[in-house]
Structures are given as C-alpha cells and as structure tokens.
Homo-oligomer: A and B are copies of this chain.
Amino acid sequence: MTTAKRDTYTPETLLTVAVRIFNERGYDGTSMEHLSRAAGISKSSIYHHVAGKEELLRRAVSRALDALFAILDEPDAGRGRAVERVEYVTRRTVGVLMAELPYVTLLLRVRGNTTTERWALERRREFDQRVADLLKAAAAEGDLRADVDTRLATRLLFGMVNSLVEWYRPQPGGGYEGEQVAEAVVRMAFDGLRSGG
C-alpha cells in the first residue's frame, strides 16, 4: 500500500501501530508481515526494535496492567472505609480504561495461548482479586447489602466497567466525558439506578 518509509520508529511508536493491528485482526491473526505493512517499514527494521510480535504484546499489555496496578498504590485507594476505597478504585479503573483504551482493549481480549498471554491473564486475575478483596472488606465493615455475594459482584462490576471497550470512543466535543462515565458507573454499581432507597 505504501512504499517503505525511512525507519523513524521508536519502540514506543511501533507499539501504537502494533496494538491497533492486534485489536483489528486479533493477536493470533496478526503476522510480522501485517505489522510490517501497517508500519510501512521492513520486517528486519521491526526486528531491530523488538524480538518479535510476542514482545510487542508484552509491552502493550504491560502498559495497561501497570496503569491499573498503579491505581492500587494511590493514596485514596488505601485510606478510609473499604467501600470508599473500592468506589475510588472503580472510578479510577474507568479512567485508566478510557485513557489507555487500545491497550486495555487488547488486555481484555487476551486468551492465553502463549506464555505472555497466560502471564497477562494471571495479572488481570490478580487485579480483579484485589478489587474482590476490597469488596469483601466493605461487606465485613457492614457497608454492603447483606445479600451481596462479593465474588459475583466483582464479576458484574468488571463486566460493567470492561464493557466500555466495546462502545466508548473518545469524541472531542461530543459523546460522554470521562468523568461523567466514571461517575455513572460508580453510582449505578454502588447506589443503583432507583431513586429513594
């Protein structure tokens, strides 16, 4: 499609292209040939930057995972009642998802066929478990309804949050603001849609 460009890529910009193609074709369906064509540089130029497509995948999902785990170290994730902490983590998770949309999208689609994919799945489960632990602590502090099964609630909460990768698209000057979506998720999950109570 394009003639080979002079290689002005850095590992970082190459990653942007790779993530887009992984999301379009699926990781399994992407060859080095596809990446080379999309980046407009030769395969050997790509190998100059990375060992192969699995390294690109590892870098991409690491970016999403690092951003997610960093949330847990923020001050507001560690102080106050557990229910406040888990609301905070939920709000920030939505924020990271929107800020790192292609990277989190890729992370959520990983299926576990390679070492890197299995590692990513494992880390994702670890993050989910940290949130489940917060919900459990909130239940123990009496701040959740008595009938809440925290394991099931964790799945439904992530179901709601992660669904954003399916429909949220940043639209400058239109669509939803990040803050608005994060607030809607937290209010729906913790206070419900019904008025009164």
Contacts and interface: CB of A to CB of B under 8 A. Distances in A.
A64 to B, nearest CB: 17
A83 B162 contact: no
Nearest to A176: B152
B149 A159 contact: no
Interface in A105-151: 135, 138, 142-149
A197 interface: yes
How many protomers of this protein does the assembly include? 2
B191 A156 contact: no
A194 B160 contact: no
Q: Is the interface of A mostly helix, strand, loop or mixed?
A: helix
A152 to B, nearest CB: 5
Contact of A193 (B148, B164, B184): B148
A142 B188 contact: no
A166 interface: yes
A38 to B, nearest CB: 19
B184 A143 contact: no
A183 to B, nearest CB: 8
A194 to B, nearest CB: 5
Contact of A195 (B145, B153, B195): B145
The 4 closest A-B pairs by CB, nearest first: A159-B163, A197-B197, A192-B192, A191-B192
